[in-house]
Structure 1
């Protein structure tokens, strides 16, 4: 090979090597790019979609069932009495797959009911048998209480035999399942049932129109640990709702592996639910029961007594609140008659059952409640639980007059039996009860004798002269400072502010008329709790205390999580002589306090009210004791009870006796030797 051929050959060889190197570089570059894409994709899957994929994988590989938390216990103030507590039980539920209210499905419905009854009769507790009608009512085929898709609870507290049968015969009962759940129990003695409240399934309290806002918002909770189960029982009223978050506890979780056919393929793992905290009420069970019984006994007496001056045939309801003067703790709160709140744990209720319960399930001591008189039309012919407060306003009327400089503690007024207000020549006359003439009286005597004339001419007229049309605004300011017309801030759900009717009276009739009628208690309707808070404020001379329903919260081990002490909402500063004057005047003559071992301040009220075209008289009574070192304030309201001195006062005496026996008005419990007395004449 000559030089030229050699050079040509080497040139071709070089070109081939360059081509090979180029192709090799392209190959490496392509490989690099492919691996880069794979690495980026892998990183994306791992870092970005990893958590989601893990959840998806877990959902495919395992199934989880949430377990409702174990609700905390509600104790009375002593901690010795469980007012509400939970226990685990097995319940029978059924989901409806069609509309059984239709005629075409009636035969199938009857067959289902018959088969269920046969099993329940054979394997169930003979003491808890169900009729076919009760089973049909529980199924709620007309959707009165449940949505169509909502499982119906047929029976609770199944026996082991019932559980075993239904679990082994699932194919015979489509839609039927056995569910483990916690059942809420309430003290059989029915202790402050409306104040304590009751439970309902979560699914029934989240309706956008009729549900409870707290639960409607909770429905949007994204944290699985905080989400509610549809069939989880939640607080619906009273303390059960007020302390829902504290009582609820933490959900548990039961997780088990499944195969591709969604069948359990191994052992399950259990994360046990945590029990909720315990709430200790300020209410003392013994004092509470004595309060409830005192009201019921007094109502019976008022309706049946042959004494025409006392007989009150329509006295069917009564309300009382006992509040400690220095702590604000509510020792008793009664709305009577009441009912057994355990009925809510017995499954679905028919509309008739709900109608029977509803007049007693709401707390008339904190909101307006109407008693059942057979029909709604008849009920509206009778006053609700919030009545005109009557003469119990007079200590405050006198305080306003003194504080505004309208008169002094030594001012003397000539009571001629009537007072007048209005434009000269067109005056309106307001008379004392039975047109009594009291002659020369000072402010304390005006309270003691309950002089309407004094309140109209010395308070209302003079307040109008001082402020003219601004007088109602001044009056309203005092009312609110003493807790009348504003929330007591107790925290109890559904508490109402009362009705300040003097505002409407001013708009319709005029300022002077509004002030005149307000001055002796005919222009304001307030709850019994508001009256108790107001009374405590008279007793402690100007400190408006928050009513404390609970004394403390403890965990499962008894450790104190939170304590509730005295909380002052606002104060009213007045001269000591003014407080002394009204306390001296709170000295009315009342029934039922014979041989009472303490000096006590009191004011009776008999409010006249037009209801359904007729005039009715309501009994109202406020009191605190001992007078000079007050411990307990009490307010009692008996709608249509007539005179407060005869109807409401005897109830307060029995509350005092119970408090003195179990707690002590002087700080020392008297035990079984405490003084008692018969309230009847």
Structure 2
């Protein structure tokens, strides 16, 4: 009998099992993920953070290339940037030494670097160049990070000699991190043209007392545009056009992206964006007219100190200031503050502290005694054309009115007496001849005292309004920094309003700058249009394209009867034949001799400051000139000869007649 058993068929897997298996597998996978995340966070986290910090980049600025300042021709550079080669070092190790801490083993290596650089400088330096010691080099390396961030390249030496450049380019690896970088050095016209007007430069680090750079320093940490970030060692304008047009001339910084590791030290690599060159500015200063102006002042001061005038030498006539301004445009063709200094020489504050500022727009003494007149002096008789204009406009007299000059005027209860210069008695005068003869008596009796009679104490405010209308006591608007508004003395509390008005009427109660005097002279020439003076006429990009033209700007207009203008212009005919002998044009002029008392060794001494204004030709005037010579004596003998040279120089360049003299 055969036993036969049928095989049993397998049973299908139940759906319940499948579901459990799926959840089990999912649990295992999620558990692995969670464990891995926990491991990354708590075990690998610090290492990942370190790696992340190693990939951070920092931006190091590359100094911009500054634009040039040209004279009015657009061809002669008065200030420009000359390429130079500088040596930098980037520190790839930490060489700092904490006080009281363990010795840094890298410190010895830094000393070896410095000694090696010292040997190279000694071997390849140019004769007469600045000496560099090992300590100087170590200080420049800034091992303690006092001057800059750890990743920033350190400037070791600027203006390398050709031999030094060749050596370092051929031996790049003698010291890790060395690089030769092309930068620029600011240079100025070798003839020293309009030195104070052009200005000078210092490092950004040492210029932060100026309001402009205080603000830039405040914004630097948050500046989002790397091109506007200032480097501590970057040179910036601190006076003159260099400061006034800093943003235009500067351009934009370039920058280098530097990979930084966890120790805040640089790594190799990184991207670089080159700097952008700044715009050029075309000034209104004509070099030939300016040089002749400066030379005329030097010669005249020398002459005054050596030649007796009216029986005496003027040994304290050591400074002089002049401004020449075009009547129809406001262009300042010449601006001289003398003596000046060599802008290409190394800065020596003690040597130039009384001459580095611009005396045509600022006020400062010639020395530290405080006993001699400042660059801003009383106007003297140059105010008299305006005084007469005020009298005519107020109706105190008419153009054909007459006045009997007795040689003096008296005013006030105590009958204060003021005489004409040298006690001169001029007899019968009219408003025109009162200007020509420069009668103090006429000004007091017919203007100063009449203002008092009409307005009483309010007369001071009336006078002040007229002065400011003609730019005396307010900003001229000139495109230069640090402009001084003048020193008003007719409103002093220790004198009566009548006294203030009487002395103001003949120029003894207001001290104003030469620039204010020039703007006022332009108004006398163009019959009341107060033009804004400017020293820049165009701004151009690096390709020579005109970015901006500076157009004439009228600040205000003094509207008076044309008869009054003709009266004062005819009256501006003071005798200056000695200075203007042979001058081929009819011209309007007024001399001034402002008097003030100074005290030397306990003694009071009266000094006379020479002042002179003029415009030419009298009809269709083109140029107005103002000259001030503190302690120079009579304006006709001290200031007028300088003005003559300026007019002649302008005539040679542009022509005072219908056609240029050239």
Question: Taking structure 1 as reference, are residues 597 and 155 closer, same or farther at Cα in structure 2, changes over 3 Å only?
Answer: farther
1:610 is matched with 597
What CA deviation, in whole Å up to 9, does each residue of 1:379-402 have, x standing for no partner? x12111001111100001111111
Q: 1:493 aligns with which of 472, 481, 490?
A: 481
| Alignment of 1:637 onto 2:625 | no
Which range is displaced more, 58-67 or 319-328?
58-67
- Shift in Å, 1:199: 1.1
Instruction: Tell me the alpha carbon deviations over residues 299-330 of structure 1, each in whole angstroms, 9 at most, x when there is no partner.
Output: 01111114454631111011000000010000
Partner of 2:386: 396
CA distance in 1, matches of 2:381, 2:158: 51
The SS at the match of 2:249 is: helix
Is the contact made by 1:205 and 1:211 (CA closer than 8 Å) also made in structure 2? no
Contact 1:218 1:228 in 2 (8 A): no
**Equivalence for 2:402:** 412
Whole-angstrom distance in 1 between the partners of 2:575 and 2:489: 29
Cα RMSD after superposing both structures: 4.0
Match of 1:559 among 540, 545, 553: 545
Q: Distance in 2 between matches of 1:239 and 1:365?
A: 14
**Cα deviation, residue 22, structure 1:** 11
The answer to whether the Cα contact below 8 Å between 1:391 and 1:604 also exists between their aligned partners in 2 is yes
Q: Which has the higher helix share?
A: 1
**Aligned position for 1:50:** none
Q: Residue 365 of structure 1: which of 355, 360, 368 is its match? A: 360
1:433 paired residue number: 421
Distance 1:286 1:410 in 2: 44
Cα deviation, 1:592-646, whole Å, max 9, x if unaligned, reads: 1001000000000000012234321100000000001110000000000000000
The answer to whether the Cα contact below 8 Å between 1:196 and 1:238 also exists between their aligned partners in 2 is yes
| 5+ long unaligned stretches in structure 1 | 1-12, 42-52, 99-110, 142-146, 672-681
Secondary structure in structure 2 of the residue aligned to 1:615? strand
**Cα gap change, 1:269 to 1:313, in 2 (>3 Å):** same
2:438 aligned residue (441, 445, 450): 450
TM-score (norm 2): 0.83
1:77 is paired with a residue whose SS is: coil
- Structure 2 SS opposite 1:582: helix
Determine the C-alpha separation between the residues in 2 that align with 1:398 and 1:59: 79
2:458 is aligned to: 470
Q: Deviations 1:198-217 (Å, cap 9, x if unpaired)? A: 1111111124x888445445
Counterparts of 1:331-350 in structure 2, within 5 Å, are 331-343=333-345, 346=346, 349=347
Conserved in 2, the CA contact under 8 Å of 1:205 and 1:215? no
- Give the count of matched residue pairs: 608
Is residue 2:34 matched to residue 1:72? no
Q: Could you say what secondary structure the match of 1:440 adopts? A: strand
What corresponds to 2:225 in structure 1? 223
Aligned counterparts, 1:312-327, within 5 A: 312-327=314-329
Per-residue deviation at 1:407? 1.2
Distance 1:153 1:412, change over 3 A: farther
Tell me the secondary structure at the aligned position of residue 355 of structure 2: helix
Equivalent residues of 2:204, 2:213 under 8 A apart: no
**Partner secondary structure for residue 373 of structure 2:** coil
The alignment's TM-score, normalised by the length of structure 1, stands at 0.80
Contact 2:61 2:229 in 1 (8 A): no
Deviation sequence 1:224-283 (CA, Å, 0-9, x none): 2211111111111110111111111122234466889967555x6442211111100011
Residue-by-residue CA offset, 1:19-52 (whole Å, 9 max, x unaligned): 8499689969989x99xx99xx9xxxxxxxxxxx
CA contact (8 A) 1:140 1:152 kept: no
The answer to whether residue 654 in structure 2 is matched with residue 663 in structure 1 is: yes
Query: Which of 560, 581, 601 lines up with 1:574 in the alignment?
Result: 560
- Give unmatched runs, 5+ long, in structure 2: 1-13, 42-47, 98-111, 140-144
Contact 1:205 1:216 in 2 (8 A): no
Moved more, 305-314 or 631-640: 305-314
* Change over 3 Å in CA distance of 1:178–1:359 after alignment to 2: farther
Summarize deviations over 1:85-116 as a string: whole Å, max 9, x none: 10221246899999xxxxxxxxxxxx999998
In the alignment, the residues of structure 2 paired with residue 217 and residue 314 of structure 1 have an alpha-carbon distance, to the nearest angstrom, of 45
